[in-house]
């Protein structure tokens, strides 16, 4: 089986220039896709990633845009179509999803809107926008990046948004088949991002490792590989699924 199963397919990764997003872009490119790498601020970082992807072949480009609001998502998709000359976007990885854990009793309404819109509403808008062209092309893949926080009840609006994204994934799978599959992944705490969560909860990483059956945190490359494989032939019969990529961390136990 060819490992370049996305040859000829156009893909977009939101928040794709750094961290997990960069690994997602690389994983898709390694499987043959032409990748649009979305960024918000640092064009230099995005273009450097595109250059590295291009050494393996394919037509890749960096595209500025705010994937965290409905209008921003619509504008981003329009820009990608424009650069690709109207070519159908057949793979979308919704990776942008800012974190917040302000207690509900203290949360400003604009913080609720920012986290909800970026993690859930923008994904809905993207699916609604892309479904017609994916159906017309006869094939499409939507992959939503949820989070292990979907299974917690102390991460506030982020928990609500990421768990809602799972429900949205399932509902879209029902509506958009058979041409389009819609799946989600829930990464646990990622090793390379340990310092980020420590700013919110200094003991989180140690607690996470202690309750993870694998005894370690997952890596960005491991998460990205699963997301990319969801777009390939091994998962052609899978839609509406949410795959935890967390070393077993989410499993309930006493």
Rounded CA separation 197/71 (Å): 29
Return phi, psi of residue 212, to 5°.
-95, 120
Give domain status of residue 5, yes or no: no
Its pTM stands at 0.96
Give domain status of residue 3, yes or no: no
What domain count does the chain have?
Answer: 1
**CATH number for position 67:** 3.40.50.720
Q: What is the DSSP string of 161-200?
A: HHHHHHHHHHHHHHHHTTTEEEEEEEE--BGGGHHHHHTT
Tens of pLDDT along 198-239?
888 999 999 999 999 999 999 999 999 999 999 999 999 999
Give domain status of residue 72, yes or no: yes
> For residue 36, what are the β-bridge partners?
12, 61
- Name the band, by pLDDT with cuts 50, 70 and 90, for residue 2: low
- Name the band, by pLDDT with cuts 50, 70 and 90, for residue 40: very high
Average pLDDT, rounded, for the chain? 96
Give domain status of residue 55, yes or no: yes
% of the chain surpassing 70 pLDDT:
99
Give domain status of residue 183, yes or no: yes
Give domain status of residue 133, yes or no: yes
Q: What is the mean pLDDT of residues 151-180?
A: 97
Give domain status of residue 180, yes or no: yes
Give the residue numbers spanning the domain of 218: 10-245
Q: What is the mean pLDDT of residues 63-67?
A: 97
Give domain status of residue 1, yes or no: no
């Amino acid at each position: 089986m060819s490992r370049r199963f996305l040859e000829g397919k156009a893909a977009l990764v939101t928040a794709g220039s750094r961290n997990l997003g960069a690994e997602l872009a690389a994983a898709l490119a390694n499987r043959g896709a032409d990748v649009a790498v979305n960024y918000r601020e640092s064009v230099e970082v995005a273009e450097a990633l595109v250059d590295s992807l291009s050494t393996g072949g394919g037509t890749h480009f960096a595209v500025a845009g705010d994937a965290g609001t409905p209008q921003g998502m619509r504008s981003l998709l329009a820009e990608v179509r424009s650069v690709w000359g109207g070519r159908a976007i057949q793979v979308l990885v919704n990776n942008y999803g800012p974190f917040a854990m302000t207690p509900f009793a203290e949360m400003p309404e604009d913080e609720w809107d920012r986290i909800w819109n970026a993690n859930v509403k923008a994904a809905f808008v993207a699916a609604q926008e892309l479904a017609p062209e994916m159906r017309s092309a006869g094939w499409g893949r939507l992959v939503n990046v949820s989070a292990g926080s979907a299974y917690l009840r102390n991460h506030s609006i982020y928990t609500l948004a990421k768990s809602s994204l799972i429900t949205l994934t399932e509902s879209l799978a029902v509506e958009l088949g058979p041409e389009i599959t819609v799946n989600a992944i829930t990464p646990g705490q990622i090793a390379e991002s340990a310092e980020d969560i420590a700013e919110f909860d200094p003991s989180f990483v140690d607690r996470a490792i202690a309750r993870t059956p694998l005894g370690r945190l997952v890596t960005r490359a491991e998460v990205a590989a699963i997301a990319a494989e969801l777009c390939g032939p091994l998962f052609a019969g899978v839609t509406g699924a949410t795959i935890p990529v967390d070393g077993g961390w989410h499993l309930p136990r006493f």
